[in-house]
Each structure stands twice: as C-alpha cells, then as structure tokens.
Amino acid sequence: MAVKIRLQRGGAKHKPMYRMVVAESGSPRDGRFVEIIGNYDPSNKIEGKQLSVNLDRAAYWYGVGAQPSDTARTLINRAKRAEAAKASV
C-alpha cells in the first residue's frame, strides 16, 4: 500500500494542533501511523514555535516514495525556507 505524509489532528475543540505523520494511505486520518516527523500549532504566533519538522526524515520518506498531502508539502517547504534563512544569518 502507498505511504503518505499528512497531518493528524489533535488538540481541543477550536484549538487544533497537528502532528505531521507518515501513514499508509488506507489508514484513517487520526489512525495508525508509521512515524511522527513534525508538529504544527497554527494558534502559536511566536515565530519559530509554530512549526517544527524533521527535514532529514521528510527527505528520507520522499526518497522511498512517500507522497505528501498538499498541506504537508506546503509546511515542509515553509520549514525548508526557515532553515535556509537561519543558515544564511
């Protein structure tokens, strides 16, 4: 079965927090997963605390054929840009 990188919702009602997980495509959204590779807290407005992604593991899963969801792809690209900005400073 295909492997996907997607978000798993957690948190309270009206206060979502998400884990970025690697899961088989047939698993439910909040069901079984293979690995947690990051966190996303949209309500945290402190720069650098809203998103954390293990880019090495994301690159590994891309390499073995995992397909990210649209939102996961956007967040991974945002994390890459933030990492590049830290490296250039």
Q: What is the CATH number of the domain that holds 51?
A: 3.30.1320.10
What length is written for the chain?
Answer: 89
Give the pLDDT confidence score for residue 6 in this predicted structure: 95
Q: Which domain does 55 fall in, by range? A: 3-88
pLDDT tens digits, 25-44: 888 888 889 999 999 999 99
Averaged over 59-73, what is the pLDDT? 95
- Cα distances (Å, whole numbers) of residue 4 to 18, 83, 85: 15, 23, 27
Mean pLDDT of the residues in the chain: 92
User: Helix or strand or coil: residue 82?
Assistant: helix
Q: What is the pLDDT of residue 56?
A: 96
CA–CA separation, 29 and 83 (whole Å): 28
pTM, to two decimals: 0.90
Give how many domains the chain has, as a whole number.
Answer: 1
For residues 46-66, give the mean pLDDT.
Answer: 93
